[in-house]
Structure 1
Amino acid sequence: MTDAVDNLPDNVAELRAMVRYRDLLIEKLKHQLAGLRRHRFGSSSEALDQLEMTLEEVEIAAAAEPVGPSSADLALAKGQPKRRPLPDHLPRNELMLSPGEACSRCGGRLKTLDEDVTEELEYVPGRFVVNRVVRPRMACACCEAVHQAPLPSRPIERGRPGPGLLAHVLVSKYADHLPLYRQSAIYGREGVDLERSTLSDWVGRSTALLEPLADAIGRHVLRAKAIFADDTPVSMLSPGSGKTKTARLWAYVRDERPWVGSAPPAAWYRFSIDRRAARPLDHLGSFEGWMHADGYAGFEDLYRTGRVREVACMAHIRRKFFDVHAAQGSAIAAEALQRIAALYAVEQEARGQPPDRRAAIRRANAAALFDDLGTWLKAQLPKISGKSPLAAAIRYALARLPRLRAYLENGILEIDNNTAERAIRGVAVGRKNWLFAGSEGGGKAAAIAYTLIETAKLNGIDPQAWLTDVIGRIADHKITRLDELLPWTYAQHG
């Protein structure tokens, strides 16, 4: 469960007002959507896509928040049509669950009275199938006691999606950047009618189910000696205004592969409604060690604790000189890029070596280059206009280089923060398709999904195969043995 429920008001009237606002917003969006569907040309077509995604995120946010009955229950309560039967053309896999041959009460022989059939829509790579779970109801010939095998646990209580289908929807949305309304259209071409609102409900409920696993990945990241941190803006609907505000999605990454560390790589994502310094301070409350990051001033509170030591990023320094050179063809910027390239050449030799060897290579081949870069930049500054973009790039570099020097002596550190930037890249691509979060709860659902999917990818695991396995097991899995479901454990036993 997400912790959004902790932020809900205690006043019943306020709660009712929140639910009423959400329902009115959904109805308003549906009304606008119906109108735009009648005019699918030109700019209205683009507006239709945006409205589809707006409604999608609002519904995911509603499903992710553990308050009140499910959307399916509400639909039945309102007298809306019941869900349609699963298409007849799909292949059926039948599983027979029998209570046995003998009565557990008296030992008498059982005879069949009737049977219950539960159909589950499942997705295996490339096709849909229907799993039919048949459970005969049997009576004892001696004492007439009725026996029936229990229905296996389902990922979504009273829902019909199988683990593979839920995994496919999550991966399609957050790894392949397919909004749910597009997925709905794709499934429709296969003769399977799954409305966007249904898929939204599944996403919200699946991420709530998987949240303990994302938390376990977060604890693994925070046990590292060094992490990489970055954040990216995400628009979020502002309740009551009909507008959006800028929220943030943070990525914290542990990756010891460059120095042959034994811990598996992992990426942990967190959502916040703003970029205040209190956010990373809260996220990293238990972390002690080095943190690779950009020059965001909000991290200063972390560094002042003494628990977290900063490692600046050469890639950010390089980027500023690259931009100046691309715009102006500056000879000074070109030489700065060449000097930085020489430092990266040393990293090619150090990559894949143990920490002590990496530190020795850097001391021998990079330390002098690093010092010369700083000395040379200081000498260039008086030669140019202090208000020029080049002067700004030099001042930035001179401010950041002292905070990067630690990498020269410590083999577990990197020259840049590109590891975190790569973790953010998928979010940057995805938000072009899903645009924004419907609420704080919806943003947290996205953070959970990204944590699971990106960590699987870092470990060379197919996220859909792993999530299919996990979603099928996690409901009955002991919380004390949650580490058994982590992607690197799956890789060992899969």
Structure 2
Amino acid sequence: MKTCSWYNKGMENTAENKGLQQNRESVDDLKNENAKLQHELEMANAKIKWYEEQLRLSAAKKYGTSSDNVDEAQISFFNEAEITARPEKEEPKLEEITYERSKKRGTNKPSFDDLPVERIEYEIPENEQVCEKCSSSMHEMSVEVRKELKIIPAKVCIVEHVRKVYACRKCQNSGQNTPVITAPMPEPVISGSFASPSLVAYLMYQKYSAALPLTRQEKIFSDFRIEISKQNMSNWIIKACELWLDPFFERLKEELLKETFIQADESPLKVLTKDGKPAGSKSYMWLYKSGAFGKKISLYEYQQSRSGKHPKNFLNGFSGFLQTDDYSGYNSVENVTRVGCFAHARRYYTDALKALPKESEIESTHAHKALEYFKRMFRFESEWKDLSANERFKMRNKNLKPAMEAYLSWLQEVQPKIVRKSKLGQAVNYSLSNWELLSNVLKDGQCELTNNAAERQIKPFVIGRKNYLFCKSPHGAKASAMAYSIIETAKMNGLNPFYYLKYLFEQLPNTKLSTPYALDHLLPWSETLPKECLKTFESKK
């Protein structure tokens, strides 16, 4: 039987079409697979780039400078010798070096002016003051003086407070009720203890101002044959804080809450034993300080967590501008206008530069462009630092506002072009997401461009924490907060923290807190404070 030719030809075409269809599907599958692999490769490269960024940034933080300023010619710390080399730079002459060094020698410093002088004279005996040529007597021609700074270790002594009691002998002999009069004597800082106001003040000063742990203080006392255990020192500090610094702290807090601009920050602290929490869990030390135009106050508060309820409770009654970082816990504070920190925004860009590869051209990067905007804004602020709040408010709206608007336009332009999870992407997103907080600096001249003042103020606590590592109990942590508050507030007001603490511990046990203003004569800006509480430099200005 013969098959039609047209039928055979149709069958062949059908088979050919089916083959072509299969080939097309195979090609599409390969294209899809290629696209998938290409996407996975891009993802892998992005991850590798991110890890490289983290590695370079980690190395820069470990071995490089901690400053936010990045030298444009020194993006990598590995080629420091090549970068800093200047073949055209002439070497200084030996005479210049000798002169520069000789100028710094001696004890001609203002801080030495009030020190007592111990004079030791060296003379030749009269019978030897004879000229070796003519045997005539010699006269004093001139005097050579060499000055040294002598250290006398702390002197410790026992102070006996002897109070005399008086009675009427005539009444006593007649058998009548004998009147008795007792001489007045100041109250002790801690009843039943041999700790004096100066000793407690010294221990606090050493620990919270000089960052010297009690263990080392115990060793130093022992070196001078004075045995005082660190347990006793700790008990004295906690007791003195609870009895006397606590009410004084509350009085300072009243003054702080009257301000209209406050800066805040917080830092972790390890406390070994706490109720309801495992030993060694993380607590926080919170800082609240006044601005440059108000009374100078810095207060620290210990809390067991980083919850937003703590700043809300502490700042209850405060109304004004609150400057912090972008931590959302401060959002719970009521009746305040939050102000952001341009230093935090800039720090993201400096991190982005530090994470760049060694061969990168900094000038061509977005991070470098962003830092140019920041340089302009910070240059304005440095020019206005001596202006009043009202004058600074006017200058900011005239000059700083256009600079900020230009930076915002740049942010909106560059955001779609960058990888969101990269360091640069994080920097851009930080500024955009916090733009309302950052722009609030234009609302009042009291506001600062950065929260650096609060970060500097909490640094003494951070330095101390590195030395004593932790607090043994919540009572100790709370006492530390009060001690830091008094000491740092004293420093801000130009006081010597040791003499100020000593004066407080002498006066507070003998001050009756009968009126709301009973402590005002002891506040760090009081004009009735003794001169010994003032720092030497401050008292001479």
Determine if the TM-score, normalized by the shorter chain, exceeds 0.5. yes
Overall identity of the aligned pairs, in %:
31
Q: Which amino acid aligns with 2:265?
A: D
Q: Deviations over 1:70-89 (max 9, x none)?
A: xxxxxxxxxxxxxxxxxxxx
Tell me what 1:486 maps to: 523
Q: Which amino acid aligns with 1:483?
A: D
Q: Deviations over 1:396-426 (max 9, x none)?
A: 0111222121222421111111121111111
Question: CA 1:155–1:377 in structure 2 vs 1: closer, same or farther (change >3 Å)?
Answer: same
The answer on whether the counterparts of 2:274 and 2:474 sit within 8 Å (CA) in structure 1 is: no
Question: CA 1:282–1:239 in structure 2 vs 1: closer, same or farther (change >3 Å)?
Answer: closer
Q: Which amino acid aligns with 2:257?
A: L
Instruction: Give the Cα–Cα distance (whole angstroms) in 1 for the partners of residues 167 and 394 of structure 2.
Output: 77
Which residue, out of 197, 200, 225, partners 1:166?
200
Give 1:222-237 correspondences, 5 Å limit. 222-237=257-272
Tell me what 2:287 maps to: 251
- State whether structure 2 residue 308 is matched by structure 1 residue 277: yes
**3-state SS of 2:227 partner:** coil
Instruction: Give the Cα–Cα distance (whole angstroms) in 2 for the partners of residues 142 and 471 of structure 1.
Output: 41
The answer on whether the counterparts of 1:173 and 1:180 sit within 8 Å (CA) in structure 2 is: yes
Query: For the aligned residues, what is the CA RMSD?
Result: 2.0
Tell me what 2:337 maps to: 309
Which residue, out of 379, 385, 407, partners 1:345?
379
Q: Which has the higher strand share?
A: 1
Q: What residue ranges of structure 1 are gaps of 5+ in the alignment?
A: 1-123
The answer on whether the counterparts of 2:273 and 2:474 sit within 8 Å (CA) in structure 1 is: no
Q: Which amino acid aligns with 1:275?
A: R
The answer on whether the counterparts of 2:263 and 2:289 sit within 8 Å (CA) in structure 1 is: yes
- State whether structure 2 residue 238 is matched by structure 1 residue 204: yes
Question: CA 1:326–1:490 in structure 2 vs 1: closer, same or farther (change >3 Å)?
Answer: farther
Instruction: Give the Cα–Cα distance (whole angstroms) in 1 for the partners of residues 165 and 471 of structure 2.
Output: 46
Instruction: Give the Cα–Cα distance (whole angstroms) in 2 for the partners of residues 490 and 433 of structure 1.
Output: 36
Instruction: Give the Cα–Cα distance (whole angstroms) in 2 for the partners of residues 223 and 286 of structure 1.
Output: 8
Q: CA shift at 1:440, angstroms? A: 2.2
Which residue, out of 350, 353, 356, partners 1:325?
353
Q: Deviations over 1:373-404 (max 9, x none)?
A: 11112222222222212101110011122212
- State whether structure 2 residue 372 is matched by structure 1 residue 371: no
**3-state SS of 1:334 partner:** helix
**3-state SS of 2:270 partner:** strand
**3-state SS of 1:212 partner:** helix
Instruction: Give the Cα–Cα distance (whole angstroms) in 1 for the partners of residues 278 and 301 of structure 2.
Output: 24
Tell me what 1:291 maps to: 322
Q: Which amino acid aligns with 2:296?
A: P
Q: Deviations over 1:96-127 (max 9, x none)?
A: xxxxxxxxxxxxxxxxxxxxxxxxxxxx9932
Q: What residue ranges of structure 2 are gaps of 5+ in the alignment?
A: 1-151, 173-177, 532-541
Q: CA shift at 1:189, angstroms? A: 1.6
Q: Which amino acid aligns with 2:282?
A: T
Q: Which amino acid aligns with 2:343?
A: A
Question: CA 1:161–1:490 in structure 2 vs 1: closer, same or farther (change >3 Å)?
Answer: farther
Instruction: Give the Cα–Cα distance (whole angstroms) in 2 for the partners of residues 148 and 491 of structure 1.
Output: 29
What is the number of residues matched between the two proteins? 363
Question: CA 1:491–1:371 in structure 2 vs 1: closer, same or farther (change >3 Å)?
Answer: farther
Which residue, out of 171, 194, 199, partners 1:143?
171
Instruction: Give the Cα–Cα distance (whole angstroms) in 2 for the partners of residues 396 and 344 of structure 1.
Output: 18
Instruction: Give the Cα–Cα distance (whole angstroms) in 1 for the partners of residues 405 and 371 of structure 2.
Output: 15
Q: Which amino acid aligns with 1:408?
A: L
Instruction: Give the Cα–Cα distance (whole angstroms) in 1 for the partners of residues 181 and 470 of structure 2.
Output: 50
Instruction: Give the Cα–Cα distance (whole angstroms) in 1 for the partners of residues 397 and 278 of structure 2.
Output: 56
Q: Deviations over 1:15-44 (max 9, x none)?
A: xxxxxxxxxxxxxxxxxxxxxxxxxxxxxx
Q: Which amino acid aligns with 1:172?
A: Q
- TM-score scaled by structure 1? 0.70
Larger radius of gyration: 2
Q: Which amino acid aligns with 2:370?
A: A
Q: Which amino acid aligns with 1:255?
A: G
Q: CA shift at 1:139, angstroms? A: 4.9
Instruction: Give the Cα–Cα distance (whole angstroms) in 2 for the partners of residues 142 and 188 of structure 1.
Output: 53
The answer on whether the counterparts of 1:461 and 1:491 sit within 8 Å (CA) in structure 2 is: no
The answer on whether the counterparts of 1:224 and 1:254 sit within 8 Å (CA) in structure 2 is: yes
Tell me what 2:93 maps to: none
**3-state SS of 2:307 partner:** coil
Tell me what 2:229 maps to: 195
**3-state SS of 2:434 partner:** helix
Q: Deviations over 1:173-209 (max 9, x none)?
A: 1111111111111112222211111111111111112
Q: Deviations over 1:245-267 (max 9, x none)?
A: 111111010023xxxx3x42101
Q: Which amino acid aligns with 1:446?
A: S
Instruction: Give the Cα–Cα distance (whole angstroms) in 2 for the partners of residues 127 and 396 of structure 1.
Output: 55
